Protein backbone atom coordinates (compact mmCIF):
# COMPACT_ATOMS: atom_id res chain seq x y z
CA UNK A 1 0.00 0.00 0.00
CA UNK A 2 1.37 3.38 -0.95
CA UNK A 3 1.93 5.98 1.74
CA UNK A 4 -0.76 8.26 0.29
CA UNK A 5 -3.25 5.39 0.52
CA UNK A 6 -2.35 4.78 4.17
CA UNK A 7 -2.91 8.44 4.99
CA UNK A 8 -6.21 8.47 3.10
CA UNK A 9 -7.34 5.37 5.02
CA UNK A 10 -6.51 7.11 8.31
CA UNK A 11 -8.47 10.23 7.33
CA UNK A 12 -11.47 8.23 6.15
CA UNK A 13 -11.52 6.11 9.30
CA UNK A 14 -11.19 9.18 11.55
CA UNK A 15 -14.07 10.90 9.78
CA UNK A 16 -16.18 7.71 9.79
CA UNK A 17 -15.76 7.50 13.56
CA UNK A 18 -16.61 11.18 13.95
CA UNK A 19 -13.29 12.03 15.56
CA UNK A 20 -11.82 15.49 15.00
CA UNK A 21 -8.13 15.98 14.32
CA UNK A 22 -7.58 17.66 17.71
CA UNK A 23 -9.34 14.81 19.52
CA UNK A 24 -7.41 12.12 17.62
CA UNK A 25 -4.17 13.93 18.34
CA UNK A 26 -5.03 14.02 22.04
CA UNK A 27 -6.03 10.34 22.12
CA UNK A 28 -2.89 9.30 20.21
CA UNK A 29 -0.71 11.55 22.38
CA UNK A 30 0.71 13.50 19.45
CA UNK A 31 0.52 17.21 18.67
CA UNK A 32 -2.36 18.60 16.62
CA UNK A 33 0.18 20.14 14.26
CA UNK A 34 1.87 16.78 13.70
CA UNK A 35 -1.43 15.06 12.91
CA UNK A 36 -2.44 17.87 10.56
CA UNK A 37 0.89 17.61 8.71
CA UNK A 38 0.57 13.82 8.46
CA UNK A 39 -2.98 14.01 7.08
CA UNK A 40 -2.05 16.68 4.54
CA UNK A 41 1.07 14.83 3.38
CA UNK A 42 3.44 17.49 4.69
CA UNK A 43 5.10 15.13 7.17
CA UNK A 44 5.84 11.45 7.38
CA UNK A 45 4.74 9.82 10.62
CA UNK A 46 7.20 7.98 12.77
CA UNK A 47 6.32 4.33 13.28
CA UNK A 48 5.46 5.18 16.89
CA UNK A 49 2.98 7.87 15.80
CA UNK A 50 1.50 5.67 13.07
CA UNK A 51 0.95 2.85 15.55
CA UNK A 52 -0.64 5.23 18.07
CA UNK A 53 -3.01 6.67 15.46
CA UNK A 54 -3.92 3.22 14.15
CA UNK A 55 -4.58 1.95 17.68
CA UNK A 56 -6.98 4.79 18.46
CA UNK A 57 -8.80 4.23 15.16
CA UNK A 58 -9.07 0.46 15.60
CA UNK A 59 -6.65 -0.19 12.75
CA UNK A 60 -3.46 -2.22 12.56
CA UNK A 61 -0.07 -1.82 10.96
CA UNK A 62 1.40 -5.00 9.49
CA UNK A 63 4.84 -5.77 8.11
CA UNK A 64 5.07 -8.67 5.70
CA UNK A 65 7.97 -10.46 4.07
CA UNK A 66 8.06 -10.59 0.31
CA UNK A 67 8.95 -14.04 -1.03
CA UNK A 68 12.32 -13.93 -2.74
CA UNK A 69 15.58 -15.83 -2.50
CA UNK A 70 17.06 -13.59 0.17
CA UNK A 71 14.08 -13.76 2.52
CA UNK A 72 13.74 -17.54 2.12
CA UNK A 73 17.13 -17.92 3.84
CA UNK A 74 15.95 -16.13 7.00
What span, in angstroms and rounded, lies between the C-alpha atoms of 61 and 32? 21
Q: Phi-psi bin for 18: left (phi > 0), alpha (psi -120 to 50), beta?
A: left
> What pLDDT digit, counting tens, does each position of 26-65 carry?
999 999 999 999 999 898 889 999 999 999 999 998 877 8
Give me the residue spans of the domains in the chain. 3-56
Q: Which CATH superfamily is domain 3-56 in?
A: lambda repressor-like DNA-binding domains (1.10.260.40)
Q: Which residues contact 31 (CB under 8 A, 6 or more apart)?
A: 25
pLDDT of residue 56: 97
Average pLDDT over residues 6-12: 93
Q: Which of 12-16, 23-27, 33-37, 63-67 has the lowest mean pLDDT?
A: 63-67
Residue 10, pLDDT > 90, answer: yes
Whether residue 31 contacts residue 24, with contact meaning beta carbons closer than 8 Å, is answered with no
Amino acid sequence: MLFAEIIESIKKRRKFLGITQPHLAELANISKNTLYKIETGKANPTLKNLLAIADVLGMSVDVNTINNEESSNI
